[in-house]
Amino acid sequence: MRYELYYWPGIQGRGEFVRLALEEADAPYIDVARRKAGMSKMQRLLESKTIAHPPFAPPFLKAGPLLIAQTANILLFLGNRHALAPKTEAGRLWTHQLQLTIADFVTEAHDTHHPIASSLYYEDQKAEARRAAKAFREERLPKFLGYFERVLARARGPYLNGRALSYADLSLFQTVEGLRYAFPRAMARAEKKLPRVIALHDRVRERPRIAAYLASKRRLAFNQAGIYRRYPELDP
Amino acid sequence: MRYELYYWPGIQGRGEFVRLALEEADAPYIDVARRKAGMSKMQRLLESKTIAHPPFAPPFLKAGPLLIAQTANILLFLGNRHALAPKTEAGRLWTHQLQLTIADFVTEAHDTHHPIASSLYYEDQKAEARRAAKAFREERLPKFLGYFERVLARARGPYLNGRALSYADLSLFQTVEGLRYAFPRAMARAEKKLPRVIALHDRVRERPRIAAYLASKRRLAFNQAGIYRRYPELDP
């Protein structure tokens, strides 16, 4: 069985958290909307009046008869299927808890450039974005990353769960990547206090399948349409 | 075993989604931070340097040896334990997907009054809140609630999963409650197109344990410190 991933083409976005898990698991998948006629296939699914479990928004994953949406939910599913999460109930809940905390962090990072509404242009909320980004850089970014640094300090190994990699580690890697792209100056300052987070990031980057993925054309570059955008005025 | 729920006293907030599940399940629980010395107990847990799985923020639930945070994650756990979710993998993932979509909606509703930063006073982001609330009322509120209306139209019964109640139904009830408090005028308009969402809300409200809970002192009133706040200028 090949998975079918549905996500907006042209950006990493939330789809990237799913891609990283699929790549690390070496699971066969099609990135549907990046193929010919893929966007209209995705739109048809989003607008379908008959599917029983309609997604609210991309990303969603077709896994045989299942159609699963919400990034953290897709990872919950893939984590169990591909040993990207612990087997115990306590371990699975903890990994999911970390993922949901990363999801909150990602939303806040996105909202720095769209604090008023996602439907408005950045240019129409630039002054507000400047204020929102200041609070994010000074309060939220250190708070979230400091939290993961503390979690890693208590883990009995280099990963959030200790010795075994989980999808939450892949997501934390991606979060660091995105923050470095969007807030290079703020991150350069913050990273001095985050040795464990950065060590985890580097370790994930060097895993053979992740390294091969990052070097491939399947990995899109960050750009000004995604969650993480580089506006110098938001990172003075 | 009695559960211990930890959440900010004085507001419904995200803790309320957990309370509704515990009440419907008739599960014994202590609302720790609302009891004497409970706030310092919660703070000690949040600041503990030794617990293996520290929460990032309330709510969190102590269930015997487990300490579980993130609202949707707590509900995932309670849903399995107390038959508040389907038994099949497909049903559990679908219920969780709906809950995560509600969580996104709740965050957007909150951010209408704090679009710049949660750490700033409302008074310091009032103009921005007015713009954010307009987009929320006109675009996001109808989009989210319209989605749940469509889901209910396809369900084979009055609940999101069909005939059996799940924690997602309790959360959708609470979302309608909160939106009616914060945006009474926008909701009065929107509800005309949402017969199934409102019927679900009413059905949940009349379930014996929920009705008893809502009439008890355990149910806090909405107020101006919670997620849903009534600022008339945000609902003109």
* Chain segment B57-82, per-residue pLDDT in tens: 999 999 999 999 999 999 999 999 99
pLDDT at residue B1, as a whole number:
85
Which residues in chain B touch residue A131, judged by CB atoms under 8 angstroms apart?
116-117, 125, 128
Percentage above 70 pLDDT, chain A: 100
pTM for this prediction: 0.98
Reported as a pLDDT band with limits 50, 70 and 90, residue A1 is confident
Compare CB distances from B131 to A96, A116, A147 and report the shortest one's residue: A116
Across B5-17, average pLDDT? 97
Mean pLDDT of B188-192: 98
Residue A223: the pLDDT is 96
Question: What average pLDDT score do residues B121-125 get?
Answer: 97
Write down the domain spans for chain A: 3-81, 89-207
Q: What is the predicted pLDDT for the residue at A17?
A: 98
- Which ipTM score applies to this complex? 0.98
Q: Answer for the pair A166, A102: CB distance below 8 angstroms, yes or no.
A: no
**Mean pLDDT across B110-131:** 97
Q: How high is the pLDDT of residue B106? A: 98
- CATH class of the domain at A3-81: alpha beta
d(Cα A217, Cα A62) in Å, to the nearest integer? 22
CA dihedral A91, A214, A63, A108 (to 10 degrees): 60
Secondary structure, 3-state, B78-123: HHHHCCCCCCCHHHHHHHHHHHHHHHHHHHHHHHCCCCCCCCCCHH
Contacts of B112 in chain A (CB under 8 A): none
- To the question of domain B89-207 being in CATH 1.20.1050.10, the answer is yes
pLDDT of residue B4: 98
Give the A-side interface with B, CB within 8 Å.
52-56, 65-66, 68-70, 72-73, 76-77, 90, 93-94, 96-97, 100-101, 104, 107, 111, 115-117, 119-120, 125, 128, 131-132, 135-136, 139, 144, 147, 150-151, 154
Please report the pLDDT score of residue B204 as a whole number: 98
* Minimal CA separation from B80 to chain A, in Å: 11
Tokens read off for A173: 């890697």
